């Protein structure tokens, strides 16, 4: 697992899996109330926890954002709760229902699209994200002050990351989301419309390098 400080207040933890030629990202956002973006699958969470402790010391990890219900996004949640019992999982209603089915019922903060959450100096806003499994409603999250979109499985790249931050054009990135990624014309158009309305400076995807936008 490689660690990069991609912004003054954002750390990236990246692990490459050779067998599927894909790297997996978790982000630690210091707001200054710390928030983790995705747990990684449980073997990644085991490696991640000491790295989080190196950054935040004995401070509690207050929040974990889970964009949708898949092992790389939340597979390590139960393990994380052993270390940070008070941690609140921020997720959609459908993700919360899935977590309940795995016995995780406490400290779940359900948010809806268009909700806003001020944490420390940061203002987080949530956007509906039709995630792959049955097009279930997941969420992506924008930090509005810095224009950072934590985009989950959107805007991802395969392969290893050469640089933690690459440049890209937001219009092209949005145009390139296709029916393969969101297999419903209606959901795809709604997503593209929602994304186009945002004022973004950075994309922080769940796989591959971060993207600085122009």
If you search the block for the tokens 């973006």, which residue do you land on? 37
Binder among 31, 153, 209, 210 for Fe ion (CB under 5 A): 153
Query: Minimum distance between the CB of residue 175 and Fe ion, rounded to whole angstroms?
Result: 21
Tell which one of 75, 206, 208, 209 touches Fe ion (CB under 5 A). 206
Q: Nearer to Fe ion by C-beta: 59 or 164?
A: 164
- As measured in angstroms, the least distance from the Cβ of 24 to Fe ion is 7
Q: Which stretch binds Fe ion (CB under 5 A): 62-70, 81-89, 106-114, 135-143?
A: 62-70
Verify binding: residue 173, Fe ion, rule CB under 5 A: no
Question: 69 vs 30, 51, 107, 124, CA distance in Å?
Answer: 24, 24, 16, 20
Establish if 70 lies at the interface with Fe ion (CB under 5 A).
yes
Q: How far is the CB of 59 from Fe ion (least distance, A)?
A: 27
Asked if 72 interacts with Fe ion (CB under 5 A), we say yes
Taking the complex as a whole, the smallest distance from the CB of residue 104 to Fe ion amounts, in Å, to 18
Minimum CB distance to Fe ion, residue 105 (Å): 22
For the chain, the C-alpha Rg in angstroms (whole number) is 16
Work out how close the CB of 73 gets to Fe ion at its nearest, in angstroms, rounded to a whole number.
5
DSSP for the chain, written as a single string: -EEEEEETTEEEEEEEEGGGTEEEEEEEE-SSS-EEE---SHHHHHHHHHHHHHHHTTS---EEE--SSSHHHHTTHHHHHHH-TT-EEEE-HHHHHHHHHTT--SSEEE--TT-EEEETTEEEEEEEEE-SGGG-EEEEEEETTTTEEEEETSS---S--SSSEEEE-HHHHHHT--TTTS--HHHHHHHHHHHHTS--SEEEESSS-EEEE-
Q: Considering only 50-58, 116-124, 176-184, 201-209, which stretch makes contact with Fe ion by CB under 5 A?
A: 201-209
> Which of the ranges 81-89, 93-101, 196-204, 206-214 carries the binding residues for Fe ion, by CB under 5 A?
206-214
Q: Which stretch binds Fe ion (CB under 5 A): 55-63, 99-107, 153-161, 171-179?
A: 153-161
Kindly indicate which of the ranges 5-13, 109-117, 135-143, 147-155 contains the residues binding Fe ion, using the contact rule CB under 5 A.
147-155
Q: How far is CA 33 from the centre of its chain?
A: 17
Residues near Fe ion (CB under 5 A): 70, 72, 153, 206
């Amino acid at each position: 697992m490689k660690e990069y400080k991609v912004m003054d207040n954002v750390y990236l933890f990246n692990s490459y899996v050779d067998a599927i030629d894909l790297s997996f990202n978790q982000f630690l956002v210091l707001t200054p109330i710390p928030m983790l973006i995705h747990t990684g699958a449980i073997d990644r969470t085991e490696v991640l926890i000491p790295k989080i402790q190196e950054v935040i010391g004995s401070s509690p990890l207050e929040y974990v954002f889970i964009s949708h219900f898949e092992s790389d996004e939340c597979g390590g949640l139960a393990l994380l709760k052993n270390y940070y019992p008070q941690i609140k999982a921020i997720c959609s209603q459908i993700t919360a229902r899935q977590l309940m089915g795995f016995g995780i019922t406490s400290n779940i903060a359900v948010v809806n699209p268009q909700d806003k959450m001020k944490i420390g100096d940061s203002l987080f806003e949530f956007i509906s994200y039709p995630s792959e499994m049955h097009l279930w409603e997941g969420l992506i999250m924008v930090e509005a002050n810095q224009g950072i979109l934590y985009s989950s499985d959107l805007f991802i790249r395969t392969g290893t990351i050469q640089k933690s931050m690459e440049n890209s054009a937001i219009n092209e990135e949005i145009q390139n989301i296709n029916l393969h990624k969101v297999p419903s014309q209606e959901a795809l158009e709604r997503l593209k419309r929602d994304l186009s309305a945002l004022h973004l400076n950075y994309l922080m995807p769940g796989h591959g390098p971060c993207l600085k936008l122009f």
